[in-house]
Amino acid sequence: MKFLDQAKIYVRSGDGGDGVTAFRREKYIEFGGPDGGNGGRGGDIIFEAVPNLNTLIDFRYTQHFRARKGGNGAGSDRTGAAADAVVIQVPIGTQIMDDDRETLLADLDKAGMRITLCRGGDGGHGNAHFKTSTNRAPRRSDKGWPGEEHWIWLRLKLIADVGLVGLPNAGKSTFLSVVSAARPKIADYPFTTLHPQLGVVRLSMTEDFVIADIPGLIEGAHEGTGLGTRFLGHVERCAVLLHLIDGSAGDVVEAWRMIRHELAEYGGGLGDKPEIIVLNKADAMSPQQISGRKRALEKASGTPVMVISAVARQGVTEVLRALFRYVSEARAERAAETQQADDEA
């Protein structure tokens, strides 16, 4: 299945049904009076977040969604049928943006969450609605109200607990394949990963979390260089960032600073997220190189640096445990916020 995280679509709710002008005509009833019914309500456009989708690829082939018009009224005070709503299913984490791509209309970040984006038009009144003591035979009936229409952008931001960032060829895909059942493409050239990958890490029967691996960043990515920062949105919701640095590449401090600069330029709160710095590819370095580069990184960042070899599975468990501590704290905070919101409601 192809991965698509942005799509532009057109949505339009249904118009309301028309009211009608009608009079009761029945044998032996000489003053039947008006009995034109009202029109039915037009169909709504509803978006629903479902857990079994992880891409917006379906919207590449279907880009127009229109709800049906409500039924027209009829004689004998019969109201037109209301049209069915059109329910558009999207992955969890989908944001609905206005056509300007800046105004956020909705953020569907929980399974089963629904939002009515376009309400169907109300049905028009039939002439029975306008009957009064002084106007006993009204011939007025109204058209149904028009529905709403929008061009909107859908943007998917994957729901993950940990975000993997780093330069191309830092070993991110290898790390993901070692700690989870994900099987991303792995090769010895840059930009092997062209779209985000998700993997589930299971530390025990009750301890698990989701890692998102995004394509590597290079200098000037916030200006569109390389694959740019388009995919950084997928790690905005993460509790912690895992910054992998290729220890065998040379100047590890410059590599760290460059990625930090790109995260800060992107915004979205990524520069303020907790970060675990990991020096990867220990199997390709001598003990002296490991010690010197680790000290240099710790001096530049002011935080402890962990050393692993993803391909040899050395030090991986310690990193996963450190990540899970951040994930557990974030989950506890979210649970407390949810409980507080429920209590206030």
Is 157 marked as a binding-site residue? Answer: no
Q: Is 72 annotated as a binding residue?
A: no
Is 195 annotated as contributing to ligand binding? yes
- 309 among annotated binding-site residues: yes
- The 45-50 sheet, strands edge to edge: 86-91, 45-50, 114-118
- Please indicate if the annotation marks 194 as binding a ligand: yes
Is 284 one of the annotated binding-site residues? no
Contact call for residues 145 and 121 (beta carbons, < 8 A): yes
Task: Tell me if 281 is assigned to a ligand binding site.
Answer: yes
55 assigned to a ligand binding site: no
| Residue 52, annotated as binding a ligand | no
CB 86 within 8 A of CB 130: no
283 is in an annotated binding site: yes
Residue 213, annotated as binding a ligand:
yes
**CB contact at 8 A, 85 and 114:** no
Residue 170 marked as a ligand binder: yes
* 127 in a known ligand binding site: no
Is 273 labelled as part of a ligand binding site? no
Q: Is 303 annotated as a binding residue?
A: no
β-pair type (86-91, 104-108): unpaired
Helix axes 252-266, 287-301, angle to 10 degrees: 30
Residue 276 labelled as part of a binding site = no
Say if residue 56 carries a ligand binding annotation: no
Determine whether the annotation assigns residue 57 to a binding site.
no
Does 228 carry a binding-site annotation? Answer: no
**Packing angle between helix 172-179 and helix 316-344, nearest 10 degrees?**
80
142 is in an annotated binding site: no
Q: Rounded distance, CA 330 to CA 326, Å? A: 6
How far apart are the two ends of the chain, measured CA to CA in Å?
Answer: 41
Binding residue numbers for GTP: 166-173, 191-195, 213-216, 280-283, 309-311
Binding residue numbers for Mg(2+): 173, 193
Binding residue numbers: 166-173, 191-195, 213-216, 280-283, 309-311
